[in-house]
Structure 1
C-alpha cells in the first residue's frame, strides 16, 4: 500500500497562502459571484476546510511574511502562484502590481519578474502621469526594451515553480481549468452560428498556466499515486 505524501506546509502557512491569493483576486475590485464560488469550493475541498470562507479576509504583507516564515523556496513559490492568479484573466492591473510589490518586499524577494509585467498594464494610474504624458512614457519604455519578448524573464521565473506539495498541487489543478471556460459554440434554433475560440490563449502567460497544471497533475499521479481523472 502506497503511503500518502504529507503536506510540506503547516495549517497556518496554508491558510496564509490562501488568504494571499484571495488578496490578489480581490485587488482589482472585480471579484464576481462565480469567482467567489470557485474560491469557496477550493477552500473547502482542497486547501483549508477548517477556514470559514464567509469570514475570511485578505492578508496583509506583514501577516503573510510572519506566517510563511523564512524558507525562500516556500515564499518564492507563493509569489509565483500569486502572479499567476493576477494574470489568469489576461489583464495585469495597477492594483495587482501594487499589492504584489508589497508581498515581494515583505517576503524579502526582489520583484524583477514584475518589471516585465508592468509593460503589459493597459491603464496606469493617474498618479504616474495622465494623458499624453503617460502615453509618451509608455512609448519610451517600449522602445527601450532590449528584447522583443519582454515577458521572457517572467515566463522563465514562473516555469521554475516547484510542485512538491499535494495540497498546493490539488489547488492548482482546480484553479487552472482543463479547458478554457470562455470557449463555446453559439447556437440559434439548434444550429451553430459562431464558435468563440478559447480566449485564454490570448493570455501572454497561457503556456505557463497550462504547463503548471500539467506538472501538478503529474506530481499527483506519479509521486502521490492519486487518481487524477476527476481533474479532466
Structure 2
C-alpha cells in the first residue's frame, strides 16, 4: 500500500491570512457596490478556506501600509498576495480602473515590481466611458506575455490559499450566462474562456492548487472537481 502523504504545514499564520483576505475584500469593495448577495458569495468562497473563524461582517478594509506590516517581509508572500488579487480581479474577464488602482497601491507599498501588469491595463474597464455590455478592446496575446508569465510563477504552498483558489476559479469554462461577482453586475457575457485572455493562467493555478492539496497535503479534492 502506498504511503499517504503527510499534511503539509501551513506556510502562513492566521494573522497573515486574515490580512490577505482583508486585502482581497478591499479590492472587491473598491467600486462601492457590495450588496448582501455578494457578501454571501464571498463568505461561501472563504468559508473553511482562509479564516473560517472570521465572519465576513467582522472584516474591514485594509490600508496598503497595514497590509505590508501584517504580511511580513517575505517577498514571495507579498508577490503571491498580489497574484491572487489580480486573479480575483480578472476572474470575470473585467479588469476595472478602481481595481487596478487598489492593486497598484498595494504593490507600491509592498515593494513589488508591477511592470508585468502594464500590458493588462490596456484591458481596463472605465464605467465613465463605456458600459459593461460593450466588448473590451482586444489585446494581442503576446502583449500579455509578461503578466501571463508573472501569474504562472505563483507557487501554491499553503492549503488555505489553495482551497480558496479552487473555490474562486470554476472547474471548467462557464457557459454563456448572466453572472454577478465581486461587485460587478454583468448583464450577459460570453464564455469566460473567450472573454478572459488570461483564463489559461486561472485554470493553471487551479490545477496546481488541486495537485498541491491532493499530492502534498493528502486531502480529498472531490468537492472541488
TM-score range relative to shorter protein: 0.7 to 0.9
> CA offsets per residue over residues 152-210 of structure 1, 9 Å max, x none?
110000000011111111111011111344546xxxxxxxxxxx962343111111001
> CA offsets per residue over residues 59-91 of structure 1, 9 Å max, x none?
110110010011001000111000111111111
Matched, 1:25 2:18: no
Query: TM-score, length-normalised on structure 2?
Result: 0.82
Matched, 1:72 2:61: no
What's the Cα RMSD here? 2.5
8 Å CA contact 2:6, 2:216 repeated in 1: no
8 Å CA contact 1:176, 1:209 repeated in 2: yes
Counterpart CA distance in 1 for 2:36 and 2:192 is 20
Matched, 1:221 2:208: no
> CA offsets per residue over residues 118-151 of structure 1, 9 Å max, x none?
111142878xxxxxxxxxxxx9xx9xx9x86211
1:9 alignment counterpart: 12
Residue 14 to residue 157, structure 1, CA distance change in 2 (3 Å) = same
Counterpart CA distance in 2 for 1:183 and 1:159 is 26
Structure 1 unaligned segments of length 5 or more: list them: 127-138, 185-195
Query: TM-score, length-normalised on structure 1?
Result: 0.80
Identify the match of residue 101 of structure 1 among 104, 107, 113.
104
8 Å CA contact 1:89, 1:200 repeated in 2: no
Identify the match of residue 152 of structure 2 among 156, 159, 165.
159
Counterpart CA distance in 1 for 2:30 and 2:74 is 26
Counterpart CA distance in 1 for 2:58 and 2:174 is 28
Matched residues, number: 204
1:168 alignment counterpart: 161
Structure 2 unaligned segments of length 5 or more: list them: 130-136, 178-188
Residue 105 to residue 87, structure 1, CA distance change in 2 (3 Å) = same
| Structure 1 stretches of at least 4 aligned residues deviating more than 6 Å after TM superposition | none
2:172 alignment counterpart: 179
Counterpart CA distance in 1 for 2:168 and 2:71 is 21
Larger RCO (CA under 8 A, 6+ residues apart): 2
